[in-house]
Amino acid sequence: MCGIVGYIGPKDCSDVLVSALTKLEYRGYDSAGIAVFENDAIKTVKTQGKLKDLEDKLKSVGKPQGHVGIGHTRWATHGEPSDINSHPHSGARVTIVHNGIIENYIELKEFLISKGREFLSETDTEVVAQLLDYKYNGNPLETIDSVMAELKGSFALGIMFKDFPDRVFAVRRESPLIVGVAEGECFIASDVPAILKYTKNYYLLEHDEIATLTKDGVNFVDEHLDPIEKELKTADWDMEAAEKSGYPHFMIKEINEQPDAIRTTIMPRIKEGLPCLEECGITLEKIKNFKNITIVACGTAMHAGMVGKYVIEDLARVPVNVDIASEFRYRNPIINEGDLVIIISQSGETADSLAAMRLAKQKGAKTLAIVNAKGSSIAREADMLIYTLAGPEIAVASTKAYITQLSVMYLFAFELALAKETLSEPECKRLVSALIKMPEAVSFVIKNCEEKCKYIATKLITSESLLYIGRGLDYALSMEGSLKLKEVSYIHSESYAAGELKHGTISLIDNEMPVISVATQTDIIPKTISNIVEVKSRGAKIILVCTDVCARGLKDGVADYVIEIPHTDELLMPITAVVPLQMLAYYTAINKGNDPDKPRNLAKSVTVE
């Protein structure tokens, strides 16, 4: 959440900062600001609202003229959204931008007040700025290092010192930050899209490392202020991949990119018709002795884990527990040596998931990370790693990252079942062959279901509440459908195991409530249909997502609207069945006039608890 940028070089700094911040809007924010060295003074312009509001203010008060500066899009944590609480924040000689949370800011603020310091904002960030200014001894690196020793929490900082107008400093702990480099110019940013317009080359800043940026390059020191060498990385996707390419929104673009994302993710991991995860550090010998598996994740990634649980238990006969990362950390989980803990995270920086992985490692478990962001914290610290090769996902509501997480879970489940000898090689090849056909099946669903989803979405926009139901894999999938709808349409919805309706939830059903049911598992479709009849008899409007085989057997009047998808191997049905649920959410948001790429109160990467 939030976005940091910084620039030093020959270009107009204000323009570069605002342009870079637009590429981080997907992270979520409610205010924005920049600070630029202008004639050896630091000029700051900031405002509550969106970047358009900042641009309007820059036109009104005058754009800072200079070549060195920092910028920020803030998501309010300490202090309400306001011009004063917006970043950047300053002491007399120091100006900073900050992502993260300073956990001990109250005691630090009280100390600074006792020393005569006055505060303008309610933020924890201003405390850091004032502390840097209070401790400043003329040496920026020594001052930053001294302040870091007193800070508790997570942070990424872009820092400018008034008497060093030719450089920008950066440091991080937990919160992500990269340093981009090009000829004669350097950048800092929270994520790669911010710099792709200017360079694809960047360094990953590690915990408690300090970077000094000048027009001639960048230098790094560790927490002891000793110089360090770092590996220069190159982004493997370009600016075009991070643009809308003619689509009205990133969300629908990314829905349409799902076939290619699945194909790119699975094909390098298949050899001679079987899963091959050796390049991920996974071999049959290494995984065959795992007796217990825990999947830990948040939000959409947790829903991918729920599908993974069903598939792993079905094929490999290994018990799997799925935990929300924030709950896992605080319940003294039973994890032992010899267990496997799978961490799923799109960003690889999700704070609760990262902490959960570290806890699992402390308890002696082996860890497997499934992430989309190369070089992220979770990716670097896991014992085994599978990248989902979805490319950049800009929309806050995840679509193609989720579907590639599913694809990876299937490959891992197949491999584990082979290792456990609960799945024969011919049967595994059959399943892998079916998985290879999924991109084509997803393309078919997008092409043939979109118009119906558009139409049905017009029937949902006046609803105050919805219910999603399903059984087995369909229930796991309905959880993701419900989340997607509430994320972007702001309509309350919940998912429920269809067989549990009589245990309370059916009391909510009336003729104002639509019910979206998923029915793709042949052996339990009659049970699901009976649950649909129950809610239908109480006035609910039924939207049924089902296979074409199921649709042919439906009695008239069972459902008000039916979205048919092609029948494939039933174990793999979540991959195709999620697509109409994504499109229903997208078009409902559009019909309500919402921006599906930037849903209110949400951020793409949750890097604080």
- Which residues have a catalytic role annotated? 2, 604
Q: How far apart are CA 366 and CA 112, in angstroms?
A: 44
Please tell me the distance from the alpha carbon of residue 319 to that of residue 341, in angstroms, as a whole number.
12
Distance CA 549, CA 486 (A): 30
Start-end of H helices in 171-324: 250-256, 258-266, 284-287, 299-316
Long-range CB contacts (< 8 A, 24+ apart) of 214-221? 214/8, 214/166, 214/167, 214/186, 215/8, 215/9, 215/10, 215/67, 215/166, 215/184, 215/185, 215/186, 216/184, 217/181, 217/186, 218/179, 218/181, 218/186, 221/141
Which of 581, 605, 534 shows the shortest CA–CA distance to 255?
Answer: 581
Lookup: tokens for 36: 């630029």
Quick one: residue 437, left, alpha or beta (phi over 0 = left, psi -120 to 50 = alpha)? alpha
Query: Is the CB of residue 349 less than 8 Å from the CB of residue 372?
Result: no
CA atoms of 415 and 419, how far apart (whole Å): 6
CB 143 within 8 A of CB 96: no
d(CA 41, CA 18): 20
Tokens of 289: 């002795």
3-class SS at 541? strand
- Round to whole Å and give the CA distance between 353 and 378: 8
Q: Is the peptide bond before 88 cis (omega within 30 degrees of 0)?
A: yes
Q: Show the tokens assigned to 422.
A: 């609960």
Helix (H) / strand (E) containing 402? helix 400-420
Residue 581 CA to residue 583 CA, distance in Å, equals: 5
Q: Quote the CA–CA distance of 202 and 375 in Å, as a whole number.
A: 11
CA angle 303, 307, 313 (to 5 degrees): 135
Helices (H), 545-594: 548-552, 573-591
Query: Which of 437, 384, 440 has its CA nearest to residue 415?
Result: 384
* C-beta of residue 435 within 8 angstroms of C-beta of residue 568: no
The token pair that represents 193 in the structure block: 């899209």
With 0-12 CB in 10 A as exposed, 13-18 as middle and 19+ as buried, what is 230? middle
Question: Is the distance from CB of 351 to CB of 606 less than 8 angstroms?
Answer: yes
